[in-house]
Structure 1
Amino acid sequence: MANSTPTTIPMSYQTPNITFGIYLIVNDSQNEFTVCFNRTQVDSNITWQISNPVMKSLPMFAIQLSLVLFVLRLFMFILGPLRQPRFVAEILTGIVLGPTLLGQFPKYRANFAPFEGVLVMETLANLGLTFYMFVVGLEMDLMPLRKIESKALNIALAGILGPTAIGIGLYFMLEKFLNASITHTPIKGAIFWAIILTLTSFPDLARILSDLKLLHTDLGKTALTSAIINDLTAWLLLVGTVSAINGRQNIFAVVPTMLFILTYWILLRPVLGWIIQRTASTNGTSVEGKYSDTHVFFILIGVVISGFISDFCGSHSMIGAFMFGLIIPGGDLGTKIMDRIEEYITGIMLPPVFFVTGLRANLRDHLFPKQMDNFVPFIVVLVIILACSAKIVSTFIVSLFLNISSQDALALGILMNTKGVLAIIVLNEGRSLKGINNQTFATMMVSILIMTAMVNPIVGFFHKATRRLRRFQLRTLEKNKQDSELRVLVGVHSLRNASGLISLLQISNATPKSPMAIFFVHLVELTGRASAMLVFHDTHHKHNYNYSTLNREKADVDQIISIFQSYERDNIAVSVQPLTAVSPYTTMHEYISSFAEDKGVTIILLPFHKKQGNNDDQNPEHRQVNKNLLETAPCSVGILVDRGLQASLHGDSQHNAQKCYVAMFFIEGRDDREALAYAWRMARCPGVVLTVVRFIAGKAAEDMIAATGNYDDDKFLVAMTERQDMKQMDDRYVNEFRFRAMCDQSIKYMEKRVDSADHIVQSIRSTYSDMDLYIVGRGEGVMPPLISGLSGWSDCPELGALGETLVAAEFTSHASILVVQQGKSAWKRSVMDQKGKLGINSVGSNTLIVNHKKGGDLGNDD
């Protein structure tokens, strides 16, 4: 219509079709009619057919886009503390701005969502979908599919077959009760429902796993691998369904789409890879040098062309864009493209998709219409519940058959139920192709919202509960059996840190009876807008991970991995798993702690943050990571001050000397027992000579403690009781060490009675100043009277009083120092066990009643 005055058309529900105007509207009775709107006609001698098309469309588009972005950010702010993904906020934005809520008000519909005012938003939404699918293809890594495990494959098949059957059944069930089919072939709608329930959104799942610190765990890797299979399967089903429906009059209409996909994968992919590799080798080493904005421009042009070709073949333009993104090799170019367009696509071009989707879903009228009988709402709710639980149940059952614990099986089922933008795309395609009516559209939209919203809270709750239970099952060096596997996590910031830690591992006695599993973690600060992650590296292939994803030049990670691989090849009792932790320094300890907990790591080894011979802080952030791990690590932590430990191991090549002299100083406490346990393991390594010195308070020190105490003070009595308990645990462990090491010629044990910290330092200077490595406990939570004088000027509390003294002393400047702290959670478990053995009962919160015999004096005073 193009009149100067409005035209009104009666909405006859008896007439099935009215062709008038350009808009096709479907009412609740499923009859179709059109509506026309007023458009002002101008003189024919003027170029524009309307007064000003820019002034007509642009203000409305700007208002709508601003409104969508404002409501979206508001929901993201509200749902942020609830740890809900962005996708949930986007769906809620569409529902609020649609006829379900604000659309009920006539003024809002007239001013913000008129019929003619949605055209530009729909155009931007379609373009946004095209570029979004390109980004999804660019992010998707198909490498895990080459080495897919049977467990992940079976879980993926369970997530495909079960939901497919249930989706088809639920669709027909809902159609039967609502009696609202708008198509002569309802099988189309059943297929779209099956696709929606089958898919698992890979990008959204990766973000949820990263947020829950599960991305690097076995559970997270299995979920991601299965999600890739589910996503690709759903995508192929969507391509086939759309092509078949569009070419329903000629089955050969599907052939062009298949040829397009095969041409891109078989022909264009190798050619594009060759061009990119040649460009990279020609233009330099940095990201900016390899690829310019011109390269990005041509790639974006390729996205549009690919979308046009696939649309010309009878499919949707997003299929061509997805294929184009999938064939671009991962690396610097993909990173540069993501840096340029990702925020714009997800922040500007994608929100209109949910605005348009919300306008199509009237949840109030379509789910619970007034003219329906009372039993229909019950059916709708039942269908939603069954749709949400289809994938959970099928994945849970198959996981149990694969010997996965019930808790992990349930978490895996919920994770695999994660939906995303692809589900909304399938839903809209189903409605556009008349396979899904208004009622089924609204029902599935609510189901998608519930599926995704429940993932983070439920899995997060179970994950935290599992972590709390698992903390008490972690091993410590003190509790480890002599011939058990030692699982070590080694954190390295740069190549300079690697040599000393490798040398420490070399003397940690890895044997076939007592092997070592080493998880080498390259600690990298997160920069730019990338997401925190853990990147696993293949130890059997050359490492090609590129640091440009973090806006950094490629570091020396290849050399570090090569060093660890060489150590693994030289020792058959060692297995190495290299990975990269990419995170801000403020939260890096969370990723390390979570990984150590999941892998059952016994000790975490970290480098000291200062350079050799430099008293200034090299990197305060590195120091903060160490301090955070000491507070939160679920296992023991060792900080190595490396001063050429590697050189001392090689010795004098002319005399073929391979001796490494290690001294362990024992005072008291759980940290000292843990340090002794590590030194004990080292002593069994050929070439290591261990000297263990236990400093015991002399008579003068005991008299001083007794003189300063007040026996009427409850706090003093509690402290003395706890100290006696600690001394008995120390005596038991030291005596066990002495008994088992009495025939070992490489171990020397002695005790020295001292009266002050100065006597300890003097004894070390005079007798034990020629060692290659000193091992001490940090002494966290205890303050032995013997070293109380060393803590007044502490500058590095993460080393403990004695450790810091050794680092600062001139007579130990040639030697490396290892400071060990036992994990706090493991210590609590150890204390509970010891209380049960010693007959210690808790009284109130601070008082302990001890029922045991007094420990005998060890004598042997030097």
Structure 2
Amino acid sequence: MDPKLLFCLPQGDALFNPLNTMFIQMACILVFSQLFFLLLKPCGQAGPVAQILAGIVLSPALLSRIPKVKEFFLQKDAADYYSFFSFALRTSFMFLIGLEFDLHFMRRNFKKVTVITISSMVSCGLLSLAFFYLLKPLLHIKEDYFTFFLVLFITLSNTASPVVLRSIADWKLDTSEIGRLTISCALLNELTNVVVYTIIIAVVSGGSLIGDFFLFIFMTGALILLNRFLASWLPKRNPKEKYLSKAETLVFFIFLLIIGITIESYDVNSSVSVFIIGINFPRQGKTHRTLINRLSYPIHEFVLPVYFGYIGFRFSIIALTRRYYICLVIILILTLVGKFIGVISACMYLKIPKKYWLFLPTILSVKGHVGLLLLDANYDQKYT
């Protein structure tokens, strides 16, 4: 990327640099999301709904239709900044999700989580296969049918785990049995879909899949071991301090970004590796306490709202034709039907109380995260 852009120097006739406009956009998202949250909170709506609506307000569907606003927010070089910043936000919150994930609950309820996840994915897969031949002519798909089927399957079966996690927390269900079960199912579902997505990208880009996977596994394992060493060594440098210094905390995040950027440079999504690094981080002691303390507030109050707003900002309904509206309605119906059939079947098998039969499939039907990953797929340009 041009160094002038990195230093926020406008080029040519550009009045503003895309990096500057991106931060202004973030501020607008935070302001609008707070307003929507105040309006929707009495209705029982969670924070992500307000934040996604804030992004939609700023998107080309509404305010960005105004020529001056569109020229300001949608500059020619803005896509690179938005894509990279989206990656940085995603890396930070996936690491925190791994740090906060309840491993003991997952071990105790592994059967429930896997049965619900597999059942919902199987039902969505069968629906994808059944309606594949209907959607193929509507979308004018004339080649690469296998990839289209996999994308359709991911679209129907995926769950946006960050949205689920934040919603469960806003509803004060994160310490309840059903809340933790929902979060675990959402994470397992999304990570499975990301793996499938990674395979799609590897096949489409024609890369060396097996060799790259071994490299990523090695890098992830090496950073896990390095984190274990640093987590025990750094607290000994200042044993009287309750927390690590900010510089010491930054070391962990720098290594994490290096791993993430390296993996993404192969056109492979790094979310799974980042989550695994977080979940394998030592859970006891000063280092874990420091990371939770330093990351929780900024990620929950700034990073996730901006990321959810970014989901809404990518929503461009004015670009859809009548044919795509029909496909959108069909896919929404198939998603709900697939989730309800799969999750309720699993609930019947696992003897989960009937009062949760409506809640579980509904909350596991939320979308947005994996969709952004598919939109950000770029085979020609790298992050590095």
TM-score by length of 2: 0.79
Matches within 5 A, 1:223-262: 223-246=182-205, 248=206, 250=207, 252-262=208-218
The superposition leaves residues 362-381 of structure 1 with CA deviations (integer Å, 9 ceiling, x where unpaired) of 21341x53xx5xxx755542
Residues 307, 321 of structure 1: 8 Å contact kept: yes
- Please say if 1:98 is aligned against 2:65: no
Residues 200, 231 of structure 1: 8 Å contact kept: yes
Q: Which runs of 5 or more structure 2 residues have no equivalent in the other structure?
A: 1-8
| Counterpart residue identity of residue 125, structure 1 | S
- Please say if 1:150 is aligned against 2:111: yes
CA distance in 1, matches of 2:21, 2:139: 37
Residues 63, 69 of structure 2: 8 Å contact kept: yes
Residue 210 of structure 1 deviates from its aligned partner by 4.4
Residue 260 of structure 1 deviates from its aligned partner by 1.6
Q: CA RMSD in A?
A: 3.6
Residues 71/209 of structure 1: CA separation in 2 closer, same or farther (3 Å cut): closer
CA distance in 2, matches of 1:100, 1:52: 26
Residue 97 of structure 1 deviates from its aligned partner by 1.8
CA distance in 2, matches of 1:145, 1:337: 22
- Please say if 1:134 is aligned against 2:81: no
Residues 357, 428 of structure 1: 8 Å contact kept: no
Residues 64/408 of structure 1: CA separation in 2 closer, same or farther (3 Å cut): closer
Q: What is the match of residue 395 of structure 1?
A: 343
Matches within 5 A, 1:585-624: none
Residues 336, 362 of structure 2: 8 Å contact kept: no
- Please say if 1:363 is aligned against 2:308: no
| Counterpart residue identity of residue 190, structure 1 | F
CA distance in 2, matches of 1:360, 1:212: 26
Query: Does 267-276 or 342-351 show the bigger shift?
Result: 342-351
Q: What is the match of residue 328 of structure 1?
A: 281
CA distance in 2, matches of 1:275, 1:354: 33
| Counterpart residue identity of residue 287, structure 1 | K
Match of 2:146 among 177, 181, 187: 187
Residue 298 of structure 1 deviates from its aligned partner by 0.6
Matches within 5 A, 1:232-311: 232-246=191-205, 248=206, 250=207, 252-265=208-221, 267-280=222-235, 283-284=238-239, 287-288=242-243, 291-311=244-264
Report the 3-state secondary structure (helix = DSSP H, G, I; strand = E; otherwise coil) of the residue aligned with 2:358.
Answer: helix
| Counterpart residue identity of residue 69, structure 1 | L
Residues 89/166 of structure 1: CA separation in 2 closer, same or farther (3 Å cut): farther
Q: What is the match of residue 422 of structure 1?
A: 369
| Counterpart residue identity of residue 408, structure 1 | Y
| Counterpart residue identity of residue 135, structure 1 | L
Q: Which runs of 5 or more structure 1 residues have no equivalent in the other structure?
A: 1-47, 435-862
Matches within 5 A, 1:147-186: 147-167=108-128, 169-170=130-131, 173-179=134-140, 181=141, 184-186=143-145
CA distance in 2, matches of 1:379, 1:323: 35
| Counterpart residue identity of residue 81, structure 1 | P
Q: What is the match of residue 483 of structure 1?
A: none
| Counterpart residue identity of residue 163, structure 1 | C
Residues 167, 387 of structure 1: 8 Å contact kept: no
| Counterpart residue identity of residue 344, structure 1 | P
Residues 296, 336 of structure 1: 8 Å contact kept: yes
Residues 194, 370 of structure 2: 8 Å contact kept: no
Residues 201, 422 of structure 1: 8 Å contact kept: yes
The superposition leaves residues 153-178 of structure 1 with CA deviations (integer Å, 9 ceiling, x where unpaired) of 32222122222333455565333224
- Please say if 1:407 is aligned against 2:362: no
Residue 353 of structure 1 deviates from its aligned partner by 4.7
Report the 3-state secondary structure (helix = DSSP H, G, I; strand = E; otherwise coil) of the residue aligned with 1:115.
Answer: coil
Residues 163/354 of structure 1: CA separation in 2 closer, same or farther (3 Å cut): same
Residues 148, 225 of structure 1: 8 Å contact kept: no
Matches within 5 A, 1:675-824: none
CA distance in 2, matches of 1:54, 1:327: 46
Residues 254/360 of structure 1: CA separation in 2 closer, same or farther (3 Å cut): farther
Residue 273 of structure 1 deviates from its aligned partner by 1.9
- Please say if 1:71 is aligned against 2:26: no
Q: What is the match of residue 6 of structure 2?
A: none
Query: Does 165-174 or 232-241 show the bigger shift?
Result: 165-174
CA distance in 2, matches of 1:147, 1:337: 26
Matches within 5 A, 1:565-580: none
The superposition leaves residues 562-586 of structure 1 with CA deviations (integer Å, 9 ceiling, x where unpaired) of xxxxxxxxxxxxxxxxxxxxxxxxx
CA distance in 1, matches of 2:310, 2:182: 31
Residues 156, 230 of structure 1: 8 Å contact kept: yes
Residues 281/263 of structure 1: CA separation in 2 closer, same or farther (3 Å cut): same
CA distance in 2, matches of 1:428, 1:397: 32
Residues 16, 72 of structure 2: 8 Å contact kept: no
Residue 299 of structure 1 deviates from its aligned partner by 0.5
CA distance in 2, matches of 1:189, 1:354: 26
| Counterpart residue identity of residue 302, structure 1 | F
Q: What is the match of residue 294 of structure 2?
A: 340
Residues 313/168 of structure 1: CA separation in 2 closer, same or farther (3 Å cut): same
Q: What is the match of residue 36 of structure 1?
A: none
Residues 76/152 of structure 1: CA separation in 2 closer, same or farther (3 Å cut): same
CA distance in 2, matches of 1:115, 1:358: 20
Match of 1:219 among 160, 163, 178: 178
CA distance in 2, matches of 1:325, 1:100: 37
Residue 214 of structure 1 deviates from its aligned partner by 4.1
Residue 300 of structure 1 deviates from its aligned partner by 1.4
Residues 46, 171 of structure 2: 8 Å contact kept: no
Q: What is the match of residue 382 of structure 1?
A: 330
- Report which of the two has the higher share of strand: 1
Residue 425 of structure 1 deviates from its aligned partner by 3.1
Residues 116, 343 of structure 2: 8 Å contact kept: yes
Residue 354 of structure 1 deviates from its aligned partner by 5.3
Report the 3-state secondary structure (helix = DSSP H, G, I; strand = E; otherwise coil) of the residue aligned with 2:282.
Answer: coil
Residue 302 of structure 1 deviates from its aligned partner by 0.7
Report the 3-state secondary structure (helix = DSSP H, G, I; strand = E; otherwise coil) of the residue aligned with 1:80.
Answer: helix
Residue 296 of structure 1 deviates from its aligned partner by 0.4
Structure with more relative contact order (C-alpha pairs < 8 Å, separation 6 or more): 2
CA distance in 2, matches of 1:98, 1:314: 27
Report the 3-state secondary structure (helix = DSSP H, G, I; strand = E; otherwise coil) of the residue aligned with 1:287.
Answer: coil
Report the 3-state secondary structure (helix = DSSP H, G, I; strand = E; otherwise coil) of the residue aligned with 2:87.
Answer: helix
Residues 177/324 of structure 1: CA separation in 2 closer, same or farther (3 Å cut): same
Residues 325/71 of structure 1: CA separation in 2 closer, same or farther (3 Å cut): same
Residues 356/293 of structure 1: CA separation in 2 closer, same or farther (3 Å cut): closer
Report the 3-state secondary structure (helix = DSSP H, G, I; strand = E; otherwise coil) of the residue aligned with 2:42.
Answer: coil
Residue 336 of structure 1 deviates from its aligned partner by 1.9
Residue 396 of structure 1 deviates from its aligned partner by 0.6
CA distance in 1, matches of 2:163, 2:310: 21
